[in-house]
Copies of this chain bind each other. A is one copy, B any other.
Amino acid sequence: MPASIADIIVVVKWWRHLLSSLRVALNLMRILLDGHGGDGAPSVVIDALARARANYGSQVVLGVVGQQQVLAPLLAKAKLQDAITLIHADEVIGMCDAPGKVVRGKRHSSMHVGARLLKEGAWDAWVSAGNTGALMAISKLMLRTIAGVDRPAIASLIPSMKQASLFLDIGANVDCSSQHLYQFALMGSCYMQAAEGIAAPRVGLLNIGSEAIKGTEVVKEAALLLAADKSLNYVGNVEATDIFQGVADVVVCDGFVGNVALKSMEGTARLILNHLKHELSSAPVARIGAMLAGKALRRTKAAISPSEHNGAPLLGLNGIVVKSHGSADGYALACAIEVARREVEADLLTRIAGAVEARV
């Protein structure tokens, strides 16, 4: 009796899963970086590779994609030419390039080459600090989404008074249905289990009040879907002020609201730090005070710094893609590599596929 297509798919899936588990067990994890993404590229990328090499030694195979003539001399200068695999890509996507145009207009870009290699299984994860819209569009086109996921989302870890919470979507999807929000919750929960080791992540729905009657029609519908799924540890509505109190491990919203919230947080932090800087340098006594309290001030800045939580996972794709902040330095970009490493180690893709499949 010939095997059905479904049987073949199951076998292929299992085979891939087995191979990936084997690779992890044999320390053959392979993470690829975009040589041209971000404000400080390519030098920041080389710095991050050096840090990752020092962190992981031979446990992780590291590679970089980009223009050979630019990257080869920098790798040689950093004495990384033997430790890091360099893969050539002709074109570079700029931070201001329109995603819609570059998807088909710059087919030889580092983002295309990176996504292709990820799809072919030659590498396990792909990290870029480049143009977010282009990264999502190219990854979506080349990797496609996991079966059952309608739309991939971008997530971000944000600091709180306790531990960090995963916040999604932060900009990939502006018009969302309640089903989309529900899928974001499933994916976010899988991520926090896999990457942060939380057994039953508390999932909250971003809303403008704690009562069930609050919110848009879409949000109210999503609340019903979330409450009905007993496999989720759903804790109900979460207000934006509460995120920082650590009331949930995963906070779900549409990409428009998430993006506005994240930028409101960034803007407020910058406003306060600018005021503080200005006031602390305004009078000699204040300057002496600032010197004495320097360590405390630096610690506060570090605690709320996005660097510590750099590395926004693109969830729902058939491949592990992590977006670094465009303004990341070498340290922050190395944090994004660590996010990718954890996702591979915990086999996040299989987890998401399982969680979504169970509910399709």
Q: Does A208 contact B (CB under 8 A)?
A: yes
Q: Is the CB of B275 within 8 A of A304?
A: yes
Give the oligomeric copy count: 2
Task: Report how far A304 CA is from B275 CA in the complex, Å.
Answer: 9
Of A32-40, A53-61, A113-121, A292-300, the segment with at least 4 beta carbons within 8 Å of chain B is A292-300
User: Is A224 close to B, CB under 8 A?
Assistant: no
Beta-carbon contact of B217 and A240 below 8 Å: no
Q: Is the CB of A296 within 8 A of B303?
A: no
Minimum Cβ distance to chain B for residue A244 (Å) = 4
Contact with B along A282-302 (1 / 0, CB 8 A): 110110111111111101100
Whether the Cβ atoms of B263 and A282 lie closer than 8 Å is no
Question: Per DSSP, are chain A's interface residues mostly helix, strand or loop, or mixed?
Answer: helix
Chain B residues in 8 Å Cβ range of A290: 289, 293, 296
Chain B residue numbers with a CB within 8 Å of A273 are 272
Please give the distance in Å from A221's CB to the nearest CB on chain B. Answer: 12
CB-CB contacts below 8 Å: A226-270 with B = 239-244, 253, 255-257, 259-270
Q: B residues within 8 A CB of A276?
A: 296-297, 300
A305 CB → nearest B CB, Å: 11
A183-239 residues with Cβ-Cβ distance < 8 A to B are 206, 208, 211, 213-217, 219, 239
Q: Which A residues contact B (CB, under 8 angstroms)?
A: 98, 100, 159-161, 171, 174-175, 206, 208, 211, 213-217, 219, 239-244, 253, 255-257, 259-276, 279-280, 282-283, 285-286, 288-297, 299-300, 303-304
